[in-house]
């Protein structure tokens, strides 16, 4: 009797141990299957980076120039403020400072009365020269004052 009780206890212990090992093995297989079936994110061979170039050129890995960044300015003038007697002085000085031909400047100024864009492609260096030119033109009184009809205040460009 004692042997049978002891035998049955040992059988129960072995069965429990077998059951725990079986459950552990099933959990192991479930985790392994989950890893196999899940999506993997592998590292890319090439890195894609988007950044704005402030100055200079964008060059590819093989030395090819993709793009070149250059800061451009536009030259704008309001023809209402230019003194008609000093229009030729304005055209001559603007030609010297910007390098735009006189005929082209004259043509653009005659075409439209008011705000006129003389160029969209002014380089940074020429923009500094034109800023200096604006001070010179004020000194020579090329720009006249005009009274604003709404406010009654005199405005100069």
pLDDT, tens only, 64-79: 888 777 788 898 988 8
Whether the model pTM is above 0.75? no
Residue 92 within a domain = yes
Residue 6 within a domain = yes
Mean pLDDT computed over 134-146: 84
Rounded CA separation 136/17 (Å): 100
Picking from 129, 127, 121, 136, the residue whose alpha carbon sits closest to that of residue 90 is 136
Tell me what the pLDDT averaged over the chain comes to: 84
- Residue 28 above 70 pLDDT? yes
Beta bridge partners of 117: 76
Do 144 and 85 belong to one domain? yes
CB crowding 85-114: b at 16 or more within 10 Å, else e: ebeeebbebbbebbebeeeebeebbeeeee
| Residue 17: pLDDT band with limits 50, 70, 90 | very high
Residue 126 within a domain = yes
Residue 17 within a domain = yes
Residue 48 within a domain = no
Rounded CA separation 145/157 (Å): 8
pLDDT 10s digits, 84-100: 888 898 899 999 988 89
Domain that holds residue 81: 73-148
Do 15 and 77 belong to one domain? no
The fraction of the chain above a pLDDT of 70, given in percent, is: 89
- Residue 149 above 80 pLDDT? no
Residue 26 within a domain = yes
Question: Strands, E, within the chain: which ranges?
Answer: 56-59, 65-69, 73-78, 115-122, 146-147, 154-155
Q: How many domains does the chain have?
A: 2
Query: Are 140 and 86 a contacting pair, CB within 8 Å?
Result: yes
Residue 59 within a domain = no
CATH number at residue 137: 3.30.1390.10
Do 143 and 77 belong to one domain? yes
Do 137 and 77 belong to one domain? yes
Do 26 and 78 belong to one domain? no
């Amino acid at each position: 009797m004692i042997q049978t009780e002891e035998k049955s206890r040992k059988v129960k212990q072995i069965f429990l141990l077998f059951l725990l090992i079986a459950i552990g093995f099933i959990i192991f297989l479930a985790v392994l299957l989950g890893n196999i079936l899940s999506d993997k994110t592998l590292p890319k061979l090439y890195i894609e980076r988007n950044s704005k170039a402030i100055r200079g050129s964008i060059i590819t890995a093989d030395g090819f120039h993709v793009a070149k960044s250059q800061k451009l300015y536009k030259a704008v003038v309001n023809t209402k403020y230019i003194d008609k007697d000093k229009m030729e002085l304005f055209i001559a000085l603007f030609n010297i400072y910007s390098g735009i031909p006189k005929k082209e400047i004259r043509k653009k100024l005659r075409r439209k009365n008011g705000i006129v864009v003389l160029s969209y492609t002014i380089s940074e260096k020429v923009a500094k020269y034109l800023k200096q030119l604006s001070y010179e033109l004020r000194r020579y009184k090329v720009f006249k004052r005009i009274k604003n009809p709404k406010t009654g205040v005199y405005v100069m460009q």
